[in-house]
Structure 1
Amino acid sequence: MEPDRETDILSKKEEAHPAAGEAAEVASTISSLSATTISSRSTELEMERSSLPTTTL
């Protein structure tokens, strides 16, 4: 079975420079936190929107 491309690239980077693995891990963490923040903010906005008075034309 062929390893997936991203894993293969990361392992090659780690061989080339040990800090590359750590940098990739940090980037992954930042990406994950960003997604969580966006999701959280989206929920906040939805709650805010639902608390606004509705108007009918």
Structure 2
Amino acid sequence: MHRLYSFRRCPYAMRARFGILFAELKVELREIVLKNKPAQMLAISPKGTVPVL
């Protein structure tokens, strides 16, 4: 299963979540706190921006 790192108020992350919802895909949603980004997310996206799938 894919994992989506997202921030609740980010407009790009909102669009990604809506796209996933409309496509009826199953993903694990991980809401992050921008001040405390998980190491797994930073390994995938060193810039630390969301959304990251």
Determine which structure has the larger helix proportion and give its number: 1
Same-fold call, TM > 0.5?
A: no
Determine which structure has the larger strand proportion and give its number: 2
Normalising by structure 1, what TM-score? Answer: 0.30
Structure with the larger RCO, 1 or 2 (CA within 8 Å, 6+ apart):
2
Normalising by structure 2, what TM-score? Answer: 0.31
Instruction: Tell which structure's C-alpha radius of gyration is larger.
Output: 1
